[in-house]
Amino acid sequence: MILITGGCGYVGTALSSLLMRRGEEFRILDNLSGCSPLNLLFLNHVEFVWGDVRKPDDLKLAMKDVDIVVHLAAKLPTAPGMIDGMDGDVESVNYSGTKNVLEGDFGFFKLYEGNDYDKDILLNDLGEDFRGMELSIKPYPCCRMTHAS
């Protein structure tokens, strides 16, 4: 079983669509904040857990019997200057949420950043419907926060 955090966001919806076409078994954890209603049309075809990566109990429920976690839940700064001030939600989702995912009940993990993938391979795999993503692959790693623990 694959878990996609943020599976109803822009990138999460593209990945969910790809996994559905491949016939993969997967589950989505999302709090549905900031996603387009069009991104929800496929939800009746997948297992969905309404929850938040900032809440360990939500993650524990979503991670039950999961072999792979694709962590896409993120909050991007939407206004100029937000990166400097880092609004509370941006910090709590991107830092605390990611920390909670990494501390999940797994024996091991491998962390991939969005820029670890060859974008041409990814886009070719997704097909023509997602060619518009080409310009949007890089912002996710650029907006991620890093903190020393």
Scan for tokens 């070719």, then name that residue. Answer: 124
Within-domain flag for 146: no
CB 16 within 8 A of CB 35: no
Q: Is residue 149 part of a domain?
A: no
Residue 63 lies in a domain: yes
Cα–Cα distance, 98 to 70 (Å, whole number): 11
CB contact set of 124 (below 8 Å; sequence gap of 6+): none
| pLDDT in the model for residue 26 | 92
* Alpha-carbon dihedral angle through residues 46, 51, 55, 61, given to the nearest 10 degrees: -40
Give the chain's domain count: 1
Closest C-alpha to 14, from 140, 6, 66: 6
Q: In a 10 Å sphere around its CB, with 0-12 CB exposed, 13-18 middle and 19+ buried, how is residue 104 labelled?
A: middle
pLDDT on residue 49: 92
Residue 77 lies in a domain: yes
To which residue do tokens 């039950």 refer? 64
pLDDT tens series, the chain, 149 aa: 899 999 888 888 888 888 888 888 899 999 888 777 677 777 777 888 999 999 999 999 999 988 888 888 888 766 555 455 455 677 777 778 888 887 776 555 555 555 444 445 445 555 555 444 444 444 444 344 333 33
Both structure tokens of 46:
């997948």
Q: What is the pLDDT of residue 55?
A: 93
Question: Would you state the pLDDT for residue 79?
Answer: 52
Is 148 domain-assigned? no
Q: Which domain holds residue 97?
A: 2-141
**For position 120, what pLDDT does the model report?**
54
Predicted confidence at residue 98, as pLDDT, reads 82
pLDDT, residue 134, reads 44
Which pLDDT value is given to residue 61? 92
Q: What is the CATH number of the domain that holds 26?
A: 3.40.50.720
- Distance of alpha carbon 44 from alpha carbon 122, whole angstroms: 25
Per-residue buried b or exposed e for 22-41, using 16+ beta carbons within 10 Å of the residue's own CB: eeeebbbbbbeeebeeebee
Q: Which residues pair with 70 in a beta bridge?
A: 4
pLDDT for the residue 138: 42
What pTM was estimated for this model as a whole?
A: 0.67
Residue 98 in domain? yes
Three-state secondary structure call for residue 107? coil
